[in-house]
Amino acid sequence: MSFDRTIKIAPSILSADFANFGVECEVIEAQGADWVHVDVMDGHFVPNITFGPATCAAIRPHIKGVMDVHLMIAPVDPYIEGFANAGADVITAHVEAGPHIHRTLQAIRGAGAKAGVALNPGTPASSVEMLLDMVDLVCVMTVNPGFGGQKFIHSQIEKVRELRAMIGDRPIHIEIDGGVDPTTAPLVAAAGADVLVAGSAVFRGGSITNPAPYGENIRAIRAAAVV
């Protein structure tokens, strides 16, 4: 997985057809997705439950590119090896998920994956200042994690700007997750983000038997972000 700062669209399969994840991943890549974003929720760290490493392993052969696993679980550490073995390229843990995020990030890299750290909307940019040599990606949550289809929280744009300045020329992606659509994408791209996760705004209007809207939606977000 090489590093670059061009805009990457990462559809979240939280908005895909759960009975057809494999085909959804193949179709979404064929329609122009750069990464595939996989949301893991435990019903404890967030008030929703999705799936675990076994489902990630089942999805993996259907993704040619980057499998970006967003862990909304606590604790995280006991499950890192499982998600790495499932073939995750990026594993992102929340800074709020436990007292030892530094150890968690070490463990993710130790398991052979790229390490991401996610920040809830109430968590300041300064919380990752001491972690910059440990991370490959910082994920700014622009909704409270747990569900797709929520409204973008505009106050987070300033956080993206702060992170962009803090990161400087280090090879660290800034990912935005939540409420990304053609209206909000240019705001976060201008602030310095390069990975745009979008669930509802990508999957709306389409299906595995009618995939063209997926492509139109991806192109609309990319066109709005690349200014």
Ligand X SMILES: O=C(CO)[C@@H](O)[C@H](O)COP(=O)(O)O
Binding-site residues from annotation for substrate: 12, 70, 146-149, 177-179, 199-200
Instruction: Tell me the per-residue interface mask from 122 to 151 with ligand X, x by CB under 6 A, - otherwise.
Output: ---------------------x-xxxxxx-
39 part of the interface to Fe ion, by CB under 5 A? yes
Please state the φ and ψ torsions of residue 101, each to the nearest 5 degrees. -60, -35
Query: Which string of b and e fits 121-134 if b means at least 16 CB within 10 Å?
Result: eebebeebeebeeb
Joined tokens for residue 27: 């179709």
Give catalytic status of residue 34 as yes or no: no
Cis omega (within 30 of 0) for bond into 75: yes
Query: Which string of b and e fits 135-154 if b means at least 16 CB within 10 Å?
Result: bbbbbbbbbebbbbeeebbe
Question: Scanning the structure block, which residue is given the tokens 């019903």?
Answer: 43
Among 95, 177, 180, 193, binds Fe ion (CB under 5 A): 177
In DSSP terms, 195 is beta-bridged to 8, 175
222 part of the interface to Fe ion, by CB under 5 A? no
Among 159, 199, 217, 222, binds ligand X (CB under 6 A): 199
Residues in region 12-31 near ligand X by CB under 6 A: 12, 14-15
Single-letter amino acid, residue 220 = A
Region binding ligand X by CB under 6 A among candidate stretches 61-69, 162-170, 183-191, 192-200: 192-200
Feature table: binding site for a divalent metal cation: 37, 39, 70, 177
| Interacting partner of 104 out of ligand X, Fe ion, none (Cβ under 5 to 8 A depending on kind) | none
Which positions touch ligand X (CB under 6 A)? 12, 14-15, 37, 39, 70, 72, 143, 145-150, 177-180, 197-201
